[in-house]
Amino acid sequence: MEEANVHDEGCRSAERRLSTLGRHLSGQSPSSAASRASLMASENPNGAIAPSPTAGFYGGSVFAHVVKAPEDPILGVTVAYNKDPSPVKVNLGVGAYRTEEGKPLVLNVVRRAEQMLVNDPSRVKEYLPITGLADFNKLSAKLIFGSDSPAIQENRVATVQCLSGTGSLRVGSEFLARHYSERTIYIPQPTWGNHPKVFTLAGLSVKTYRYYDPATRGLNFQGLLEDLSSAPSGAIVLLHACAHNPTGVDPTLDQWEQIRQLMRSKGLLPFFDSAYQGFASGSLDADAQSVRIFVADGGECLTAQSYAKNMGLYGERVGALSIVCSSADVAVRVESQLKLVIRPMYSNPPIHGASIVATILKDRALFHEWTIELKAMADRIISMRQLLFDALRARGTPGDWSHIIKQIGMFTFTGLNREQVAFMTQEYHIYMTSDGRISMAGLSSKTVPHLADAIHAAVTRMS
Ligand code: KET
């Protein structure tokens, strides 16, 4: 009986999510049935009408009705890049670090930790608990909240290992959809393209708050405050902990403090996405300040952490979701419910990446080595900003390009439009997302002149 109820509720909530996603993806009101139907058909397999199940038996396909979906706006850039035979091609799409030689980087400290793990015969491949590796969870909470965080000392933090940043966001939002009173999440405009999809499919309803001002290429702080002020009390607010993607524009500490005061006064629930800790400034502590000022006031929040970028563990899929609660008792109950979210989703997380992270975080010497390598990556990105800025100045490219050196983190939000981006890809084999975002981490001193030539041509010929 109970099982049947759970099943019915599951079906209803799945239907609700799909119809909300259809609405969201179409960016239309629910009445715009035609565009919703076409989006559902392309992005959502349940949106199309299935042919007879016997079709396959008679030589057709039971999947003949399935419409080809578009490539992902970010990961699809790499797919297109891989197909291009040009020797001068450059991939500035996905946010993945490359060396000066344009190669992916495995950190030395990661190689050392892996060697230690391989040489330890006591290590086995048993399942991890549903919540993941306990050491990893404790150390991850300390990394983001600070080792002296009262929330950690008071056992008020429920941390679970998840599948990198994306998985942490997904588990966190599924938990909120089931257990939190307010289902609306406010995300910055613009934001990482996967955010609305993750939250909508988890069962939340997505709204945006103003964030970026194209005129100043900076923060629209007034707009942000106004939009959060008019959000319903209790609403969830997604905040990029640092190195905002795609804009590279972060609030100052003083502005963070004002955001905190406003959010706390309205009872808005912060959900931090921390995908770039250490990548913005080169300092792990400095990049966690936004999160820490919220935790220091004793209030509750959620944080999704990723080790993809800062430890270069992209494909290992290692991250953590932490929910800071008002008491240890609440944290125990929250963790028990997180397990119910995770178990039917992927049962328990993979062991290898989390073991690498835990090995590094718990060893003083390895941790120190990591901070040095991390700083070197951040510094190389910062130096690419200066090189590109200088190269555009040297070419006399029309426009004010100072935002290239002002913006923070892995990306520059260039201000180039869709047509200019398409031109650069076609004529110069430069691959980037169509919103004009370039991954500075994909550049090297050898490729900067080529990029500057392309931008110069795009701006002068396509304006
Ligand atoms: N949050 C943000 C803000 C983000 O930019 C990414 C990845 C993630 C979370 C998820 O990362 P994960 O690998 O799940 O830990 N962004 C880059 C890669 C991608 O789109 O998947 C990007 O924007 O290029």
Three-state DSSP string of 391-459: HHHHHCCCCCCCHHHHCCCCEEECCCCHHHHHHHHHHHCEECCCCCEEEHHHCCCCCHHHHHHHHHHHH
Peptide bond into 246 cis (omega under 30): yes
Length of the chain equals: 463
- At residue 462, the pLDDT reads 83
For the chain, what percent of residues have pLDDT higher than 90?
85
d(CA 421, CA 432): 7
pLDDT in tens, 56-92: 666 789 999 999 999 988 999 999 999 999 999 999 9
Lowest-pLDDT range, 3-7, 153-157, 437-441? Answer: 3-7
CB of 191 within 6 A of ligand 1: the answer is no
- At residue 29, the pLDDT reads 39
Lowest-pLDDT range, 20-24, 323-327, 369-373, 453-457? Answer: 20-24
Split at pLDDT 50, 70, 90, the class of 41 is very low
- Annotation says 401 is catalytic: no
- At residue 56, the pLDDT reads 62
- At residue 55, the pLDDT reads 65
Exactly one of 227, 250, 256, 273 is catalytic; which is it?
273
The yes-or-no verdict on residue 38 having pLDDT over 70 is no
Average the pLDDT over 129-157 and give the result: 97
Query: Whose C-alpha lies nearest to ligand 1, atom 12?
Result: 165
pLDDT in tens, 245-263: 999 999 999 999 999 999 9
CB of 277 within 6 A of ligand 1: the answer is no
Q: Which residues of 245-267 are buried (b: 16+ CB within 10 A; e: fewer)?
A: bbbbbbbeeeebeebbebbeebe
Average the pLDDT over 398-426 and give the result: 94
Split at pLDDT 50, 70, 90, the class of 45 is very low
CB of 271 within 6 A of ligand 1: the answer is no
Angle, alpha carbons 442-445-446 (nearest 5°) = 90
- Cα–ligand 1 centroid distance for 318 (angstroms): 12
Among all chains, which residue has been given the structure tokens 């220091």? 296
Split at pLDDT 50, 70, 90, the class of 23 is low
CB of 166 within 6 A of ligand 1: the answer is yes
d(CA 201, CA 448): 39
Mean pLDDT over the full length of the chain: 90
- Cα–ligand 1 centroid distance for 28 (angstroms): 26
- At residue 49, the pLDDT reads 53
pTM: 0.89
CB of 273 within 6 A of ligand 1: the answer is yes
d(CA 310, CA 434): 25
CB of 203 within 6 A of ligand 1: the answer is no
**Pocket perturbation via mutation, ligand 1, pick of 77, 78, 194 by most ligand atoms within 8 A of CB:** 194
d(CA 188, CA 209): 5
The yes-or-no verdict on residue 15 having pLDDT over 90 is no
**Ligand 1 nearest atom to the CA of residue 169, by list position:** 9
pLDDT in tens, 168-207: 999 999 999 999 999 999 999 999 999 999 999 999 999 9
CB of 161 within 6 A of ligand 1: the answer is no
- Cα–ligand 1 centroid distance for 381 (angstroms): 17
Task: Show Cβ contacts of residue 126 under 8 Å, excluding neighbours closer than 6 positions.
Answer: none
Lowest-pLDDT range, 3-17, 129-143, 285-299, 427-441? Answer: 3-17
- Annotation says 309 is catalytic: yes
The yes-or-no verdict on residue 344 having pLDDT over 80 is yes
- Cα–ligand 1 centroid distance for 165 (angstroms): 7
The yes-or-no verdict on residue 463 having pLDDT over 90 is no
Average the pLDDT over 354-368 and give the result: 98
